[in-house]
Structure 1
Amino acid sequence: MNVKEIKEIIGKKKGVELLQTIASLFPNEVVFSTSFGIEDQVITEWVGKNNINIEIFTLDTGRLFKETYSLWNRTLERYHLHIKTYTADTTLLEDFISRKGPNSFYESVENRKECCRIRKIEPLQRAIKGKKIWITGIRSDQSINRHDMDFIEYDEANQIIKIHPLFDWTFEEVKKYCKEQYIPYNVLHDKGFPSIGCQPCTRAVQEGEDFRAGRWWWEDQSKKECGLHGVKS
């Protein structure tokens, strides 16, 4: 089943109904990746509260904020879900740090991308292997690159169809929904962090700055992606 056929079946379905339809179309072949960002918490709420047959996984880079780990525990306690965890390949990570040091990602874009590849991309590829649908919390206004994506798209790099249920939501809409539904979210979102990644690579965003200005702020680039969602097909 291709992207066009899925769009026709889904029609105008959104939220819980959308996820239920996808899960029924592709039993045991759908995964949802959570980084415990506020968007991901909404999708986790939908999956957990409605017992939707979608596998949830996360990538533990080993350098997340303590607030993220705290929310991770709160999420498990609230929804009683199994969240499969993928970490960096020990051999690859040990070699990288031995050669370049623990903070070499500050020194060059190449080093930063290698760090992301080891801590995120390689584990991701293991997480989605053999699956047909990848659910994400991507929203179109998160960056210029993401604005050019589509609600449903084929990810050529990872050979998988991606679906973004919150694609047309704004950050304020997501935050309002979480507060109305009492969905737990990362406290850093209330401290100027709209996008939360690894602690050494993330800072608060100042008024007037771009949504992802707080990610890899030392790099002078318009497209700030780690590689997980950087390819549009």
Structure 2
Amino acid sequence: MRGQLEDLNRKLQELDLEQSLAFVLETIVGKKVFSTSFGIEDQVLTHFLQKYANTITVFTLDTGRQFDETYEVFHKTQKKYPALTIETYTPEEKEIKKYINEYGINGFYDSIENRKACCAIRKVAPLSRALQGADLWITGLRSEQSANRENMVFLEWDEVNQLVKFNPLLAYSLPEIEALVTSFNIPISNLYKKGFLSIGCAPCTRALLPGENFRAGRWWWENGKKECGLHIHSDKNN
């Protein structure tokens, strides 16, 4: 697999966004899925993937702790792109109740371990269900979003989920993403204009302060790497 992905990645470096989407969707066989959290990057991809509505499955994870603005942009997206059906995956209610009984409703503030346990229930487990049977997973990840993502490539083997992950926006800068939003009148969350460049669950996300990096507003009370477990980078492309 390593050699095949390396060859494809070399070709992708020469293609623009529309060309890369067409190339990968035609080249990679099997079930193809796109995950959206309705952030600005995912909204751009939604716009360009709408014509592949019969080719891909689109899904989102509703953690149960989302901002109202996230549901609003979800609704706007459905209205603007009616050809796309967006499937919703939610956490298991019994697991949520178990967590609350053990740690409290907002126990994720108490320790990194508690927070990761919450993410595992509300995000990682539903994602695992959403990716079952998939061969290609399209994401809105960009390399400049965090140091953890700087070494990612367009196509990589996801060892955890046993599929190929495709990051078509990897080399895009934020101004380039914003320009696409303006050009195509793509709906985005009202929170974005208030400094929420990375939007997750409401209790775990705040607006960025001047000079802060993209991920600083997520789990702001923690130090170190700020990932929830959805995107575990691996160099094992074989």
- TM-score bracket, normalised by the shorter chain, equals over 0.9
Change (3 A) 1:69 1:55: same
Following superposition of structure 1 onto structure 2, how do residues 120-199 of structure 1 map, counting pairs within 5 Å? Answer: 120-199=123-202
In the other structure, the counterpart of 1:110 is 113
Given that 1:140 and 1:149 are in contact with CA atoms closer than 8 Å, whether structure 2 keeps it comes out as yes
In the other structure, the counterpart of 1:17 is 19
In the other structure, the counterpart of 1:88 is 91
Instruction: State the SS of the aligned residue for 2:191.
Output: helix
Deviations 1:125-148 (A, max 9, x none): 111111111100000000000112
Given that 1:157 and 1:231 are in contact with CA atoms closer than 8 Å, whether structure 2 keeps it comes out as no
Shift of 1:49: 4.3
Q: In structure 1, list runs of 5 or more residues that go unmatched.
A: none
Q: Which amino acid aligns with 1:214?
A: G
Shift of 1:28: 5.0
Instruction: State the SS of the aligned residue for 2:229.
Output: coil
RMSD of equivalent CA atoms: 1.7
The percent identity for this pair of structures is: 47
In the other structure, the counterpart of 1:97 is 100
User: Whole-Å Cα distance in 1 between the matches of residues 30 and 93 of structure 2?
Assistant: 28
Deviations 1:84-142 (A, max 9, x none): 11100122112111221110000000000000000000111111111111100000000
User: Whole-Å Cα distance in 2 between the matches of residues 92 and 198 of structure 1?
Assistant: 17
Deviations 1:33-74 (A, max 9, x none): 000000000100011145461111100001111011000000
Instruction: State the SS of the aligned residue for 1:134.
Output: strand
Residue correspondences, number: 232
User: TM-score, normalised to structure 2's length?
Assistant: 0.92
Change (3 A) 1:152 1:58: same
User: TM-score, normalised to structure 1's length?
Assistant: 0.94
Given that 2:12 and 2:154 are in contact with CA atoms closer than 8 Å, whether structure 1 keeps it comes out as no
Given that 1:212 and 1:224 are in contact with CA atoms closer than 8 Å, whether structure 2 keeps it comes out as yes
In the other structure, the counterpart of 2:78 is 76
